[in-house]
Amino acid sequence: MIQGVGLNVYNLYAPCWGASGYQDRYAADMNNLYRKYQFNVAVPPPGAPIPGVPKCINATAMYVWLNQDNVRQALHIPAFLPNWELCSTLVTSHYQRQYMDMAPFYQELLQNNIRVLVYNGDTDMACNFLGAEKFVESLNQPVRREGGGGVGSGGSVGTSCLEHIYI
């Protein structure tokens, strides 16, 4: 229902990157930032979309850096493999789900006294906190403390929070 209205589905309050000319701004910023060092940083052509990037996400820096030859070599990525993309259609088309439920894996970690963090932002509409909250509740872990929200480092008021002993 919210697609195509200009909202950033990954952060409701953040700007929707990808408007016309946003890569021009990135190229200018990179030029100013690295002018002293005279790096030759490849940037996609102005106005050209970056492959595999969902609307509203600014992945230019990741795309540029991860596709540099020296970075690929340092990561031992063979030259015959395609460029890195944030959301690769090639990977998506070949992906086969092996597990429908991750709860047994979390249970095994918890039974071995390994603490885990499950985090979903309250402004993320793609991976919202409601699904994570339901999942954590299904693990039936004892609750240490129940909070009613607070002020985060960005000054925003958070939603309610449950602190479990091992989660």
Q: With 60 as the cut, is the pLDDT of residue 149 above it?
A: no
pLDDT at 38: 60
For residue 21, what are the CA distances in angstroms to 28, 44, 112, 155? 11, 12, 51, 30
Sign of CA dihedral 150, 152, 155, 157: negative
Query: Are 51 and 73 in the same domain?
Result: yes
pLDDT at 143: 73
Residue 3 included in any domain: no
Q: With 60 as the cut, is the pLDDT of residue 21 above it?
A: no
Q: With 80 as the cut, is the pLDDT of residue 62 above it?
A: yes
Query: Are 26 and 90 in the same domain?
Result: yes
| pLDDT single digits (tens) 89-110 | 888 888 888 988 899 999 999 9
| pLDDT single digits (tens) 78-87 | 999 999 988 8
Interatomic CA distance for residues 60 and 66, integer angstroms: 10
| Domain region containing 71 | 22-94
Q: Which of 64, 94, 124 is the last residue of a domain?
A: 94
Residue 143 included in any domain: yes
Q: With 90 as the cut, is the pLDDT of residue 73 above it?
A: yes
pLDDT at 36: 60
pLDDT at 80: 95
Query: Are 37 and 84 in the same domain?
Result: yes
Are the C-beta atoms of residues 108 and 99 closer than 8 Å to each other? no
Q: Which of 94, 125, 146 is the last residue of a domain?
A: 94
Residue 11 included in any domain: no
Of 23, 89, 24, the closest CA to residue 60 belongs to 23
Query: Are 81 and 108 in the same domain?
Result: no
Are the C-beta atoms of residues 120 and 127 closer than 8 Å to each other? yes
Query: Are 81 and 114 in the same domain?
Result: no
Residue 51 included in any domain: yes
For residue 83, what are the CA distances in angstroms to 57, 93, 96? 18, 16, 21
Of 54, 48, 124, the closest CA to residue 87 belongs to 54
pLDDT at 147: 60
